[in-house]
Amino acid sequence: MFYLKKEQITNNMAHFIPVFILDDIDSTNRFAKELSFDYALVVSNKQTLGRGRLGRGFYSPQGGIYMSLLAKVPFMYQNIPFITTSAAVAVHKAIKSLYNKNVSIKWINDIYLDGKKVSGILCESADSEHAVIGIGINFAVSDFPNELKEFAASLFESDTDNNPNILISQIIDNLLDIILNLPDTSFMDYYKENSLILNKEVLITKDNTTFCGKAVDIDSQGALIVETPQGIQKLTSGDITIRLKN
Ligand code: BTN
């Protein structure tokens, strides 16, 4: 079993920000929102009330990585659409460069490995200038509850020798590099190049209705452009779920 180590995280990070390591917490996003810093990182070994998108929970046992970055975002209001996509790029890049695993980004902010989700991202605002970017990664979680088994994967088996502290440092460095460079959105090219659904047939569920279409583009604001029998649709994150059509 691996251990979270504050020195390993900070020593491997190019950016200097306060880091809080917790053993157990309801939600690292909730904890990070209450901090009074411009930038801070909160990482926990497990969460008792991990939050997911669309009011769902996030399964958060020991063995996963649960972290939240509190960050002052330049021109927060204009840059909101890019916070989520930048986190997806940061996680994807780090996993790819450290482990060379075959991961891809499923619009808008899930990371998939061989058809299953290994990471989810939940961004919230802390106040008008600060965002909380919550990242959950199934790092070494091999025992999922039945209802998740079909959809969730882990990067490694539970007895891995791989060190999550290095992955954490690299993700936060990647993420801060992008955020501190906004409004430069050139990272969106990487996002598109590594998309799971671009140029594929997809099923979209919105307002309790499911329809199909082809994902033809992701625009400069991160919106998904889908060609449907009813015409072109532009989807922004909101209450939408999307899956590949078999
Ligand atoms: C999703 O897949 O719906 C998003 C999941 C986000 C989970 C992370 S784990 C760390 C942070 N704290 C939370 O309560 N949620 C996010």
Structure confidence by residue, pLDDT tens digits, 87-118: 999 999 999 999 999 999 999 999 999 999 99
* Pocket residue to mutate for ligand 1, from 122, 133, 168, most atoms within 8 A of Cβ: 122
Residue 56 C-alpha to ligand 1 middle, in angstroms? Answer: 9
Query: Distance from the CA of 70 to the center of ligand 1, in angstroms?
Result: 14
How far away, in angstroms, is 161 Cα from ligand 1 center?
24
Q: Please give the number of the atom of ligand 1 that sits closest to the Cα of 119.
A: 2
Q: What percent of the chain has pLDDT over 90?
A: 84
Residue 238 pLDDT > 70, yes or no? no
Tell me, in angstroms, the distance from the centre of ligand 1 to residue 49's CA.
10
Q: In the sheet where 201-206 sits, what is the strand order?
A: 231-235, 224-228, 209-218, 201-206, 240-244
Write down the pTM of the prediction.
Answer: 0.96
